[in-house]
Amino acid sequence: MTEKLKVGIIGAGGIAKGVHIPNYMKCGDRVEIVAIADVIKEKADHYADEFSIAHSFGDYEEMLQTVELDAVSVCTPNKFHAEATIAALEAGCHVLCEKPPAITVAEAEDMAKTAEKTGKLLTYGLHYRYAPEVVTLKRFIDGGELGDVYASRVNAIRRRGIPGWGVFTNKELQGGGPLIDIGVHMLDTGLYLMDFPEPETVLGSVYQKLGKRKGVGLMGSWDYENFSIEDMARAMIQFKDGSSIMLETAFAANVEKHDVMNVSLMGDEGGADVFPLKIFQEKHDTLIDTSPAYLPKKGNHELLIEEFVNSCLTGKKPITTPDQGVVLQKLITAIYQSAETGEAVKL
């Protein structure tokens, strides 16, 4: 591996412009973004001009064949995650793929198998793992402060937060709605803090109550006439070790707060809310709540990109692994399957 990481971007959308490109640029001389590809070549050309990227393409396969790259960020709609990731891995690139891993379990498994076969790194844009609250709480959990963490609640709920841009309401391109978009972040955070117990049973429900009609849009006006996703999903996940997660996620729900992203954990020695971080314990015959007086301020996305670059240059594996991506994809798929059949899904 060279001292300077040569990076390519697949997908010239908002996540590429707002997250990946600027945070690679923060890595300074260690990284050079040398190419960008998008099916709408004019978008790739525009980003290439804006960010002084040497090469732009209308086909990522052409980019992979033409330009020497060490690593690739996959920033496409979910439908194209697997094929772009597998192509980049087979071209000899390390890959940072945006969340969720894919749309189907088979795709996530193929991505993991290809990473293993090629010997290249594959990780996902699950940036909440890098939040200072999560990093701090993980140290407390690893130190035994919460004891046996046997239960968790994960919430990603917006009052009226259906995205009015992009393809977020298109099931064919995204694979689903809030569950696969924002819910996946809090579900992954809960799983990570619980050390990824092995899932056993999933019972899920999804609803489409508000998205199909015109209403107040706090994130822009959405195309309610072509709204093909759920606007809410709920689930109960049981694990083989007896632990469980209760999940609730929504783009639109009649609740008080406009936007809630949180994970609550319960262990036999203590519990915690993650956002904001507060730890609940019983010590010296007293119930106590503990909150940090200071947490680092570096952004989650910046830390995610920074770790990916370090991993590519040193060979150290990122904290998010392909196998964990498969587990996450299995749970998302099982929730949708359970909701469709009305029955619990055994994994």
pLDDT tens digits, one per residue of 41-64? 999 999 999 999 999 999 999 999
Q: Mind listing the pLDDT tens digit for each residue in 65-104?
A: 999 999 999 999 999 999 999 999 999 999 999 999 999 9
Q: Quick check: 31 pLDDT over 70?
A: yes
For each of the domains in the chain, give its residue range(s) and CATH number, in order of start: 5-127+302-320 (3.40.50.720), 129-296+329-346 (3.30.360.10)
Type of residue at 50: E
Instruction: Kindly indicate the confidence band of residue 346, based on its pLDDT and cuts at 50, 70 and 90.
Output: very high
CB 84 within 8 A of CB 58: no
Instruction: Give the type of residue at 289.
Output: D
DSSP line for 323-338: HHHHHHHHHHHHHHHH
162-189: per-residue pLDDT in tens? 999 999 999 999 999 999 999 999 999 9
User: What are the tokens at 325?
Assistant: 């991506």
3-state class of 280 per DSSP? strand
